[in-house]
Amino acid sequence: MTWNAFIYIMASPSGTLYTDVTNNLERRVFEHKTKRNKGFTYKYGCTRLVYYEEIGDIVEAIRREKQIKGLLRKKKEALIRSINPTWLDLAQNLFN
């Protein structure tokens, strides 16, 4: 099955990072920002979208998600800075 998927990283004000995959980035970021799900991002306040990639195949997206989750913190930070040097909330420009 082929459908577009997004790998994304959310950050908290204290710097905690959360990586996940979704087929609807806008909906998923909205859920994090409004604290709809009482999981990790709710507990740690990860409400800022700092990184995302769009991938056309879910199997490849899940592989990439696992790859990013396995990176050391410094590598994740470098990945974020590669598209978002100042760690702005990318959702501000994407969904408004």
* Residues 46 and 10 sit within 8 Å (Cβ to Cβ): yes
* Residue 50: CA count within 13 A, CB half-sphere: 24
pTM as predicted: 0.92
pLDDT at 52: 97
Q: Which segment of 7-11, 15-19, 90-94 scores lowest on mean pLDDT? A: 90-94
**Which domains, from first to last, does the chain contain?**
5-9+18-94 (3.40.1440.10)
How does pLDDT run across 38-50, given as a tens digit for each residue? 899 989 999 999 9
Mean pLDDT, the chain, whole residue set: 92
